[in-house]
Chains A and B, each alone.
Chain A
Amino acid sequence: MNRVRMLSLMPVWGSSAGRSSLLARAASKQNLLQLQRRSGLQNSWSVPVRCFQASTTFSSSKIARSVQGDKDRGKSAANRSLTVVEELFEREAKTKATFQQAVDVFCKREIRRRGHVEFIYAALKKMVEFGVEKDINIYNKILDIFPKEVFVPRNFIQRMYNHYPRQQECAVQVLEQMETYGVMPNKETKFLLLQIFGAKSHPMRKYQRIMYWFPKFKHINPYPVPDPLPADAVDLARLSLQRIAADLDARITTYQLPHVEILDSGKVVDYPHIIGIQSPDQRSLLACHNPERPVFVEGPFPLWLKKTCVYYYVLRAELLPLEERKEEVIDPERNFYYPMQLDIDLERDEWEDEEFDIDEVEEGPVFAMCMAGAGDQATLAKWIVGLQETNPVLSQMPVVFRLTPGPRELKSGTDLEENSEEETARSQSVNREA
């Protein structure tokens, strides 16, 4: 539709002003034009852009159709070139260096860059395989395949129409893949795009849009996950626990470092890591806990850090039943300097209540958390024993293990049924083990 509107506009310009004056106008308004396009004004000047956007599906479907047509006609030429392209990437080990090599080989072989669009599409597909999908230099190298200055429009008609649509679309595809993997274009990318397609081309627009949004989103996550994640399981456990605890006072304790012990009998005993975290608040909560009531070790619960999943266990208690809850009374003789409570029989006005009405589900207190190399009860009992050192009151409480079959049990998979039953053990037994 847009295209139709634009076409109908064309003769109007032609008739109202001479061609040369139109050119002059176009040139003088170039700066203004850029502004107008940025602000998204939909006047006749921005029509070419919209025209392209409207036609992307159109043109790509046309390509698809033509490809299909090629296939129908007989899989001769296209097929051959594709296999050649694929071959380039199938030669050696899949590393960054070999990927670069493949690109270099193509560039050297095809001085005239024939079939570069196909090659770029193929290269884009292969990037993940080579593990270079997040490397800005590789993207720049791919863009560098495009022949320079050929696709830059030279006059207003070329500028107005979609100049070299397949190539432009291909470059947009490259930028889109960068966007998908969160790769921020750099100065070199911009320079290349300028050289290849010119200042107001679609890839350039895409570049500008990326550069508008990406910096804004760079720090959108208030809890950034380090990239790359620590490889060591102990370090990863520390990081994850700190993340869940979200308390700067919480202290990490290493109850056991992973090590292997070889007994005299030749038997190998594997000691998994046990890393725990507890904050002073949690400690005082635990100290106030009624020793008659049991505390539970529950888990494993999953925590996703980007693509890694780790599991943690918590030590918690059930919520106190209503009748046992004590309302905290402020002693009137508490503060030497000013009253902590007023003896006025007036409540807060509803207009002053600025909090949203939220249904809150109360949960029992969590006293500590840990991550361990193994999810079996013996390992977690060691954690409880370690906790008893800093929380003496814990040794008087019954500790119940409520472990669900974790991922590790699932892998072994044999005694699934037994594991799903609640494993319980009194703390006395834990003490004996200690």
Chain B
Amino acid sequence: MSGLGLILRAARVAFPAGVRQFRTACPRPAFAKELFRGTFRKEEVFPYPEISNEELEEINQFVGPVEKFFNEEVDSKKIDQDAKIPQETLNGLKNLGLFGIQIPEEHGGLGLSNTMYARLGEITSQDGAIAVTLAAHQAIGLKGILMAGTEEQKKKYLPKLASGEHIAAFCLTEPGSGSDAASIQTRATLSEDGKSFLLNGSKIWISNGGIANIFTVFARTEVVDKDGVTKDKITAFIVERDFGGISNGKPEDKLGIRGSNTCEVHFENTKVPIENVVGEIGGGFKVAMNILNSGRFSMGSASAGMLKKLIEMTAEYACTRKQFNKKLSEFGLIQEKFALMAQKAYVMESMAYLTAGMMDKPGIPDCSVEAAMVKVFSSESAWVCVSEALQILGGLGYMKDYPYERYLRDCRILLIFEGTNEVLRMYIALTGIQHAGKILTGKIKEMKKGNVGLALGTLVDRLHDSIGRKVNLGLVGKDGVAHPSLEESATILEKNVYYFGVTVEGLLRRFGKTIVDEQLILKRVADIVINLYAMTAVISRASRSISIGLRNHDHEVLLANIFCTEAGFQNNYAIAQLGKYAPENLDESIKKVAKQVLEKRSYICSHPLDRTF
């Protein structure tokens, strides 16, 4: 019997059901940021987070009816064709309480934890349009009130929002401003009596813009800072449609999630009382950032839910369709695709619930990096998997008579909204590097100054690395937390984590603070750390499954090992590339090609049929 089982059993005795481990130190140093230093905080991620039996029962009570509703009463095809969610469907969602999943019970919501929110997200994602409508409402639309609102604001707005009587929308994007706060043009000017603001400006691509009654709007306001200088700063407002002066453009015609309402929202001299400022005046930037950072984690479970459904549908097809007297499912290339889908679904599910569990722990959790990693991984995997599913179906998948092409269209948006994956990769890498940089600055400076002892120490370390170091971060071995079936995967992870730390230190030494401009490098850093987190999640989850004897845990072990081995290879490759200089790892050439193309703004090669004589 492994030591792990003992630990788990001990943990079970120490923390009876319903009582969660409690930590007093807050905010807790986050797991992902520490990875950048080559440190593996195993107590954060082992054992895999669990919910109590009561909570499980509670959530299952919700899941049943919601699943039934989605299976029987939601006509996704019609929603997609009409580009509108019918009122009955919306009413059904409201009756199920799905508009107030995370709103506390005292304000009329369900008051569910992040984990349970993720669980419900799995089901609501069966229809992309509904999932986006719900997410725009509660993951970002009303999050401002929930996170930074005053007690009065909560009392006034949350009950109606929870019941779905009012729908919320999040108004940040403007024609000239995607991620750039400086180009926000919407302006709120304080009236002479100082009791209200006049809001003017336009916002574009607002989800729920046409059906919402409550808007969280970000606008420029003049703020006098402590030096007495007047400055433009962003402020967040709660704006009711009844305040007047609000008009909508017509709903946008989109590639996917067509049933969700996306349109322009114009504000013309909308009078907003000063009580409706969210947070402080001039503190809107922080509010926006916090809302955006907190809304992302659920995308993992949502994609996983969608993917699980898709696996069912395509497996049905592959096991019945015959070619050359053989079932499709007997062909190796088809089997490979199913293995891939299962693996990706397993990984994103593991990541999503690990993150949700971390967020549910008491204290002030800072899981924004983890949430961003979940979003990037799950959106990209979902796109790949849906594409592979379509491939299994062949021509059938391409036909509008079947739902598959809709899945493809719907899931394309995942890579774009709530922060594009590119932007999030920068966030992941830079946040981690900032964390590591603060701690390592002293050491690197010493070395650059020519501290012989330190330099020698590092040299010996690198020598040790190059002849094959045995890394022990406490995952395997005597006190290991990973199950022995996953020993190989865990060893790969340990090594990757260690060398990743070494690489980050090297990057800091090479680039210092100018690394913000090295996007190709940052992308690799982000890719590695996403893989590390994914590996951690699957090893942790699979270890738990084996230890408590969940059904089909051997299958989980297979998936975990496949993923970890592949991800390990990817990481090693990326780490090797990060150790090279720009001319060797092709970055220079890539940049040059892009520069030449962009200079001429076209593809500049001569046509293969061109001649010079």
State the A residues within 8 Å of B (CB). Answer: 184, 186, 211, 214-215, 218-219, 248, 331, 333-349, 351-352, 354
Closest-by-CB residue of A relative to B516 is A342
Chain B residues contacting A186 (CB-CB under 8 Å) are 613
Contact between A352 and B181 (Cβ–Cβ < 8 Å)? no
Query: Complex: how many Å from CA A351 to CA B507?
Result: 12
Interface residue stretch chosen among B324-332, B392-400, B419-427, B491-499: B419-427
Q: Which of A331, A333, A339 contacts B430 (CB 8 A)?
A: A339
Contact between A339 and B431 (Cβ–Cβ < 8 Å)? yes
Closest-by-CB residue of B relative to A332 is B285
Binary A-proximity of B420-446 (CB < 8 A = 1, otherwise 0):
000110110011011001100100110
B525: min CB distance to chain A, Å: 13
Chain A residues contacting B438 (CB-CB under 8 Å) are 343-344
Query: Complex: how many Å from CA A335 to CA B233?
Result: 13
- Decide: A342 near B433, CB < 8 A? Known: A347-B514, A348-B510, A354-B582: yes
A322: min CB distance to chain B, Å: 24
B350: min CB distance to chain A, Å: 25
* In the complex, chain B residues 482-515 whose Cβ is within 8 Å of any chain A Cβ: 508-515
A184-B613, A214-B613 given; name 5 further pairs at CB < 8 Å: A336-B180, A337-B426, A342-B430, A344-B441, A354-B588
Closest-by-CB residue of A relative to B444 is A346
Query: Complex: how many Å from CA A354 to CA B518?
Result: 13
Among A214, A336, A346, A354, the one with the most B-chain Cβ atoms within 10 Å of its Cβ is: A336
* In the complex, chain B residues 288-317 whose Cβ is within 8 Å of any chain A Cβ: 288-289, 292
Query: Complex: how many Å from CA A219 to CA B423?
Result: 40
Closest 8 CB pairs of A and B: A346-B512, A344-B437, A215-B612, A338-B427, A333-B285, A338-B426, A337-B423, A348-B514
Chain A residues contacting B581 (CB-CB under 8 Å) are 351-352
Query: Complex: how many Å from CA A331 to CA B282?
Result: 14
Q: Does B601 contact A (CB under 8 A)?
A: yes
Query: Complex: how many Å from CA A226 to CA B286?
Result: 56
Q: Does B247 contact A (CB under 8 A)?
A: no
Contact between A215 and B434 (Cβ–Cβ < 8 Å)? no
Chain A residues contacting B511 (CB-CB under 8 Å) are 348-349, 352
Q: Does B182 contact A (CB under 8 A)?
A: yes
Closest-by-CB residue of A relative to B233 is A333
Contact between B512 and A336 (Cβ–Cβ < 8 Å)? no
Query: Complex: how many Å from CA A348 to CA B234?
Result: 33
Binary A-proximity of B570-613 (CB < 8 A = 1, otherwise 0):
00000000000111000010000000000001000010000011
Closest-by-CB residue of A relative to B288 is A336
Query: Complex: how many Å from CA A334 to CA B288?
Result: 12
Query: Complex: how many Å from CA A265 to CA B611?
Result: 61
Query: Secondary structure of the A side of the interface?
Result: loop
Query: Complex: how many Å from CA A340 to CA B419?
Result: 15
- Decide: A219 near B612, CB < 8 A? Known: A338-B423, A344-B441: yes
Contact between B172 and A336 (Cβ–Cβ < 8 Å)? yes
Contact between B612 and A348 (Cβ–Cβ < 8 Å)? no
Chain A residues contacting B285 (CB-CB under 8 Å) are 333, 336
Q: Does B179 contact A (CB under 8 A)?
A: yes
Contact between A344 and B513 (Cβ–Cβ < 8 Å)? yes
Contact between A346 and B437 (Cβ–Cβ < 8 Å)? yes
Contact between A331 and B513 (Cβ–Cβ < 8 Å)? no
Contact between B510 and A351 (Cβ–Cβ < 8 Å)? yes
Chain A residues contacting B182 (CB-CB under 8 Å) are 331, 334
Contact between A215 and B613 (Cβ–Cβ < 8 Å)? yes
Chain A residues contacting B289 (CB-CB under 8 Å) are 336
Contact between B513 and A337 (Cβ–Cβ < 8 Å)? no
Contact between A352 and B510 (Cβ–Cβ < 8 Å)? yes
Query: Complex: how many Å from CA A339 to CA B285?
Result: 13
Closest-by-CB residue of A relative to B583 is A354
B310: min CB distance to chain A, Å: 30
Contact between A336 and B181 (Cβ–Cβ < 8 Å)? yes
Closest-by-CB residue of B relative to A344 is B437
A284: min CB distance to chain B, Å: 13
Closest-by-CB residue of A relative to B509 is A349
Chain B residues contacting A342 (CB-CB under 8 Å) are 430, 433-434, 437, 513, 515-516
- Decide: A346 near B445, CB < 8 A? Known: A336-B288, A339-B431: yes
Chain B residues contacting A331 (CB-CB under 8 Å) are 181-182
Contact between B601 and A248 (Cβ–Cβ < 8 Å)? yes
Contact between B419 and A349 (Cβ–Cβ < 8 Å)? no
Query: Complex: how many Å from CA A203 to CA B412?
Result: 65
Closest-by-CB residue of A relative to B508 is A346
- Decide: A345 near B441, CB < 8 A? Known: A334-B181, A337-B426: yes
User: What are 17 A-B pairs with beta-carbon distances under 8 A?
Assistant: A186-B613, A211-B613, A333-B181, A335-B179, A336-B172, A336-B292, A337-B423, A337-B424, A337-B427, A338-B430, A339-B434, A342-B513, A344-B433, A344-B508, A345-B445, A346-B513, A348-B511
Query: Complex: how many Å from CA A345 to CA B508?
Result: 10
Chain A residues contacting B582 (CB-CB under 8 Å) are 354
Chain A residues contacting B430 (CB-CB under 8 Å) are 338-339, 342
* In the complex, chain B residues 131-159 whose Cβ is within 8 Å of any chain A Cβ: none
Query: Complex: how many Å from CA A55 to CA B179?
Result: 74
Query: Complex: how many Å from CA A214 to CA B179?
Result: 51
Chain A residues contacting B612 (CB-CB under 8 Å) are 214-215, 218-219
Query: Complex: how many Å from CA A349 to CA B512?
Result: 7
Query: Complex: how many Å from CA A346 to CA B433?
Result: 12
Query: Complex: how many Å from CA A211 to CA B433?
Result: 57
Closest-by-CB residue of A relative to B512 is A346
B332: min CB distance to chain A, Å: 42
Closest-by-CB residue of B relative to A349 is B510
Chain A residues contacting B583 (CB-CB under 8 Å) are 354
Query: Complex: how many Å from CA A152 to CA B188?
Result: 92
* In the complex, chain B residues 107-126 whose Cβ is within 8 Å of any chain A Cβ: none
Chain B residues contacting A248 (CB-CB under 8 Å) are 601
Chain B residues contacting A337 (CB-CB under 8 Å) are 179, 292, 419, 423-424, 426-427
Query: Complex: how many Å from CA A347 to CA B515?
Result: 9
Chain A residues contacting B286 (CB-CB under 8 Å) are 333
Closest-by-CB residue of B relative to A216 is B612
Chain A residues contacting B172 (CB-CB under 8 Å) are 336
Query: Complex: how many Å from CA A340 to CA B426?
Result: 9
Closest-by-CB residue of B relative to A215 is B612
Chain B residues contacting A218 (CB-CB under 8 Å) are 612-613
Chain B residues contacting A215 (CB-CB under 8 Å) are 612-613
Among A211, A335, A342, A347, the one with the most B-chain Cβ atoms within 10 Å of its Cβ is: A342
Contact between A344 and B512 (Cβ–Cβ < 8 Å)? yes
Among B180, B445, B581, B613, the one with the most A-chain Cβ atoms within 10 Å of its Cβ is: B613
Chain A residues contacting B433 (CB-CB under 8 Å) are 342, 344
Query: Complex: how many Å from CA A184 to CA B581?
Result: 44
Query: Complex: how many Å from CA A339 to CA B508?
Result: 16
